[in-house]
A and B are shown apart, each in its own frame.
Chain A
């Protein structure tokens, strides 16, 4: 009996290992020299309380969607990678968070509800926090559940499921009103935004774009490095 259990366990382990290797090999064959590139932009209306004095403008990752190139700070091994997710968080045009994730499994997660921070020096070595996290209005965390061979991605954002084929995008503008968060319609976003500005309501747009399959050769090591 013990032997049988041991045999079944071994068999199960073997199937798992082969399954995993098979999946990876399959992904390697499917995606080869390319990967699906996803951009997630979180833009808030008033989550920053001041322009940082000496913060040089410009993010660390440079994306050129026209040429399908990506300039990143350091070299990365992209063997087996089938998904790239770039996340940027801005408010009033000031970037305060930026992340780039490469995934071999085609899955990725972004904890959008976690507090972000942008600290500038204060008097006597103290620090001043410039991000007001209460003014970031997001529906929950974001997960990329699956990446398909044709470049389609399945995303879970809060309680919502979103499927984006290459070239497709999705966005939502959430306003935090006294009654709670409310999604703004695309027809009257300008009026709603003007109202938010005048009343001081926080508003955040989360925009996801599936940029399609990008060549791995277009990922170049960074500015400033030799």
Chain B
């Protein structure tokens, strides 16, 4: 008998209480949410409007997601607060308009008692202030209902504000049981990025227009001559001041900094780019005609790229401490230096184009402009030169007109978005993407470059990631994914719902969190997500449904396969009876997992009316490993789910950006439950958890130590840092072809049929990637090559009064670059000896063992079993272990002779080096010789 049902029964009394007037008013404060379409602008806006019109046609695809939702089983016992996006105009709430409120009423929610709808009337201002507004709102609901556990559903940016409040403690952890966040830009929105960049460009265009107004309209003035394209040499490192990235850095404001960088570096660079790439002779065809300005800098000015973009992942004033999250940061602390450089890049190229458009003085235009015969009379001369003067000034005036038009457009767009309070809105800054993909337009595999942009949001998510397995609120992410037509003109844009990309809508995932992504051709987009019936079904099921639990009857069969999903947890529990002292061993075995995913396994206990992860009983396992857990009480269950360890938005070599969460990924795991008779004591390990009801001071379970390293059946026998491939139980006896244990090829064990000697049991080839040599450039003209030494330690003496960029590049055994590390050296009045340390990839020690018969006969399956053990260097971990043909496999020879049986293991290893993770795939081979006879002859 589940305790859940018991506890739920006592929750209902909360629903009947009356509300004070203040809380009741919440339902009347609904504002309109029509501003959402205005998030889009320019071409994207027009595009979105068309889509909005069409979007009412709901295309029923991707229905599989909702079909997985749990059954609605109970009436609501917790109040539900629905929070819309801030809107400036009055109107019905988005929840009402979409019909969700009626749906919830039908499900048992009562407005003013257990259902509260709130639409902020004013913009939040900032995440911090917005979270305080929401806390106040939730406090009002708590005091009105007396219930200290709420469910909250927040739409769009309100979802981000809600999560910010929960992550930073502004909203008390545990107050919100389930936080449903719909289409919330948890990692930023591409539209905000576009809008912020456009606003910056327009701001600087207006500044440029004002500054050059006199020069443009003066008969002898000229704005073109001020620029020297040769100002930036090929060896330039970009001229960032030595103090950047530290608290000592000083500037006169963000606009000043961007303008300065644009004028001194990126405008001359853009001039070089245009000349070298588009106008130079002789013409040398480039590999990628689509190469962008950024791609050109990376390829042709690598020092600038390394110094200003790749190595500038922190804000100009340096990294913020974690404690700084609670207060809003100032400009220069929230964006990375690299992002400011990208802004300066956009401003620089815009100013170059403007300068070219405005170049030339009136005198030059009159005397040098091509075309037309010499005027024959004064009248002709007046007409001819008058026209030239008019054209000249029209061209000059176009710069002013365009700047003004763009300023008006930008102001209109920003002003019309409900949650932005102006072009300088802090909230707009917060919505810039945590990490942007820069389109380089170069060859495959290098088409995009990841640049950390919104440092503040990134820091929030890093904090969130580390706290994901301990927080008490369950995050539910619901978003849409429509056909990515914007990707045609914007290739770095991943799957999205016209507001934010799927990967950007998903916050760092905790074990109990749920993701739902609804796909369609035109719907559900950001604008009509709530109208989609599948979304409404999903919300209701999430609020009122119960979790599906796979019940195992101990001893009723072998291991069973259950799906571990990337979208939601799966639960496993033994079938408990009323007898005391029951102990069950739950064995979880992960043969292999999809690349970029690992599996979280944990124990949940029932506490205070809801299931909560038991502190300390959480582990993340990679493929090819297994673990056992002991359960001693019916108040516990085991949860499993896939967790993303790879990139959230990977892109294919062809340049298509994907999202790890756009589709549900399912890994097959094997689970078995064994009853341990009479083992009520002495089996459990670890600390007790007195907070868990029903634990009785005992321990909920026993988790294998350090499961990341792939423990086998006996925890602790493999030293840390070593692992082993899983042994599948049930393999038959080996050695004698006529013995009862000899295999005949049935079952799931792969079988290889061999006719000729050239036939190999695996086609995998041995391959290993490891560090081979360093190439070090000290930035003062001296370069050296160091063979080997994966743990590099080197010193060098630098000349006085210099600024040097030291680069160490690690190359692998295939002569390919593994990674690059750089240091900035600033020397004083004296020569200085500096030491540099850096680590690269060290190959693991891998031992393979292939066991099987040495002599066999034709026509019968011989069973071979492989076992792999490895020892990894520090900072490395195996994320996947695969083998070919299988951990156990059969070989069937059709002719006699001496044959070689090969077995291969492929390890995917992540090396954590400095600030990056490098993944390598190594393949190892082992072999054994077998003499095969024909039975008739041998007998």
Chain A residues in the interface with B (C-beta under 8 A): 39, 41, 43, 45-46, 48-51, 53-67, 69, 71, 73, 86, 88, 90, 92-94, 121-123, 128, 169-171, 173, 176-180, 184-186, 189-190, 193, 197-201, 203, 205, 207, 209, 211, 220, 222-226
A-B residue pairs in contact (CB < 8 Å), sample of 25? A43-B274, A45-B274, A46-B357, A48-B353, A49-B395, A50-B353, A50-B398, A54-B41, A58-B492, A65-B285, A65-B443, A69-B444, A86-B289, A93-B274, A93-B278, A121-B405, A121-B409, A173-B281, A197-B356, A197-B359, A198-B224, A223-B656, A224-B484, A224-B493, A225-B483
Closest to A202 in B: B370
Question: How far is B811's CA from A93's CA once the two chains are assembled, in angstroms?
Answer: 34
Residues B486-506 near A (CB distance < 8 A): 486-493
A62-B491 contact, Cβ under 8 Å, with A54-B194, A69-B444: yes
Complex contact B281–A189 (CB within 8 A): yes
Note all chain B residues with C-beta closer than 8 A to A48.
353, 356-357
Complex contact A92–B353 (CB within 8 A): yes
**Distance in Å: Cβ of A199 to nearest Cβ of chain B:** 6
CB-contact partner of A178 in B282, B368, B490, under 8 A = B368
Question: How far is B357's CA from A197's CA once the two chains are assembled, in angstroms?
Answer: 10
Question: How far is B360's CA from A139's CA once the two chains are assembled, in angstroms?
Answer: 25
B349 at the interface (CB under 8 A from A): yes
B365 at the interface (CB under 8 A from A): yes
B580 at the interface (CB under 8 A from A): no
Complex contact A205–B281 (CB within 8 A): yes
A61-B290 contact, Cβ under 8 Å, with A50-B398, A186-B281: yes
A199-B443 contact, Cβ under 8 Å, with A58-B490, A189-B279, A189-B280: no
Note all chain A residues with C-beta closer than 8 A to B201.
51, 53
**Distance in Å: Cβ of B50 to nearest Cβ of chain A:** 15
* Chain B interface residue number, banded: 35 or more
Question: How far is B704's CA from A126's CA once the two chains are assembled, in angstroms?
Answer: 69
Chain B residues in the interface with A (C-beta under 8 A): 41-44, 194, 198, 201-202, 205, 224-225, 270, 273-275, 277-290, 292-293, 349-350, 352-354, 356-357, 359-360, 364-365, 368-371, 395, 398-399, 401-402, 405-406, 408-410, 439, 441, 443-444, 447, 483-493, 653-657
**Distance in Å: Cβ of B673 to nearest Cβ of chain A:** 41
Complex contact B354–A51 (CB within 8 A): yes
Closest to A181 in B: B370
**Distance in Å: Cβ of B500 to nearest Cβ of chain A:** 16
CB-contact partner of A128 in B283, B371, B405, under 8 A = B405
Complex contact A73–B488 (CB within 8 A): yes
A63-B288 contact, Cβ under 8 Å, with A53-B201, A170-B283: yes
Note all chain A residues with C-beta closer than 8 A to B399.
50
Closest to A188 in B: B281
A169-B285 contact, Cβ under 8 Å, with A60-B489, A93-B277: yes
Question: How far is B365's CA from A53's CA once the two chains are assembled, in angstroms?
Answer: 28
CB-contact partner of B441 in A43, A50, A58, under 8 A = A58
Complex contact B357–A49 (CB within 8 A): yes
Complex contact A45–B279 (CB within 8 A): yes
**Distance in Å: Cβ of B228 to nearest Cβ of chain A:** 10
A59-B290 contact, Cβ under 8 Å, with A51-B349, A53-B409, A224-B488: yes
A63-B289 contact, Cβ under 8 Å, with A53-B201, A176-B370, A205-B283: yes
**Distance in Å: Cβ of B806 to nearest Cβ of chain A:** 30
**Distance in Å: Cβ of B395 to nearest Cβ of chain A:** 7
What are the nearest 4 A-B pairs in CB distance? A224-B487, A54-B42, A171-B283, A200-B360
Note all chain B residues with C-beta closer than 8 A to A205.
278-281, 283
Note all chain B residues with C-beta closer than 8 A to A225.
483-484
Question: How far is B288's CA from A209's CA once the two chains are assembled, in angstroms?
Answer: 12
Note all chain A residues with C-beta closer than 8 A to B354.
50-51
**Distance in Å: Cβ of A187 to nearest Cβ of chain B:** 8
Note all chain A residues with C-beta closer than 8 A to B286.
65
Question: How far is B654's CA from A66's CA once the two chains are assembled, in angstroms?
Answer: 12
Closest to A206 in B: B283
**Distance in Å: Cβ of B907 to nearest Cβ of chain A:** 28
Complex contact A224–B485 (CB within 8 A): yes
Note all chain B residues with C-beta closer than 8 A to A199.
360, 364, 368
Closest to B296 in A: A93
Complex contact B273–A93 (CB within 8 A): yes
Question: How far is B354's CA from A64's CA once the two chains are assembled, in angstroms?
Answer: 31
Note all chain A residues with C-beta closer than 8 A to B277.
43, 93
Question: How far is B279's CA from A199's CA once the two chains are assembled, in angstroms?
Answer: 17
Question: How far is B353's CA from A64's CA once the two chains are assembled, in angstroms?
Answer: 27
Note all chain B residues with C-beta closer than 8 A to A93.
270, 273-274, 277-278, 293, 349, 353
Question: How far is B493's CA from A226's CA once the two chains are assembled, in angstroms?
Answer: 14
**Distance in Å: Cβ of B276 to nearest Cβ of chain A:** 10
Note all chain A residues with C-beta closer than 8 A to B270.
93
**Distance in Å: Cβ of B449 to nearest Cβ of chain A:** 13
Note all chain A residues with C-beta closer than 8 A to B280.
189-190, 205
Note all chain B residues with C-beta closer than 8 A to A198.
224-225, 359
Closest to B360 in A: A200
Complex contact B370–A46 (CB within 8 A): no
**Distance in Å: Cβ of A146 to nearest Cβ of chain B:** 21
Sample of 13 further A-B pairs with CB below 8 A, known A46-B359, A49-B357, A128-B401: A43-B277, A45-B274, A46-B357, A51-B350, A59-B290, A62-B655, A64-B287, A65-B285, A92-B349, A199-B360, A201-B370, A224-B483, A226-B483
Question: How far is B371's CA from A223's CA once the two chains are assembled, in angstroms?
Answer: 45
CB-contact partner of B289 in A88, A121, A179, A180, under 8 A = A88
Note all chain B residues with C-beta closer than 8 A to A55.
42-43, 489
Note all chain A residues with C-beta closer than 8 A to B368.
178, 199-201
Note all chain A residues with C-beta closer than 8 A to B369.
178
Closest to A226 in B: B483
Note all chain B residues with C-beta closer than 8 A to A193.
275, 279
**Distance in Å: Cβ of A44 to nearest Cβ of chain B:** 8
Complex contact B290–A54 (CB within 8 A): no
Complex contact B406–A184 (CB within 8 A): no
CB-contact partner of A54 in B198, B395, B657, under 8 A = B198
Complex contact A41–B278 (CB within 8 A): yes
Question: How far is B439's CA from A59's CA once the two chains are assembled, in angstroms?
Answer: 11
Note all chain B residues with C-beta closer than 8 A to A226.
483
Question: How far is B655's CA from A67's CA once the two chains are assembled, in angstroms?
Answer: 13
